[in-house]
Amino acid sequence: MSNEEECGTRFPRSSLNTGEPSCQHLDVRLTPLVKLEDAYHGIVVFKAEGNLDQVPYSNELTIVFEFEHDRIQSFREYVGSKQYLLLV
């Protein structure tokens, strides 16, 4: 049985101690905290709250978008950023 089959919808990770595959389940709700946008860029800061393997989990996720002609050209993700981004 493959690691993916063992984990189902969980996220397979290697164990740091043994190198053996292990399964972690991340179940979070994203709440937008800050939204900024102009013609070229957009920034959204989310608060992530939920459970990681049945343990309470809290973090922030920041996504920076680059627009081109009313479409998303590219985006970058920053996880665990407790400081607000001042890029744009």
Question: Would you place residue 70 in the very low, low, confident or very high pLDDT band (cuts 50, 70, 90)?
Answer: confident
> What is the per-residue pLDDT across 2-54, written as a single tens digit (0 to 9) for each?
444 444 444 444 445 555 556 678 788 999 999 999 989 999 999 988 888 88
CA-based end-to-end distance of the chain: 47
* Strand 71-79 versus strand 41-52 pairing type: unpaired
| 36/62 Cα distance (integer angstroms) | 11
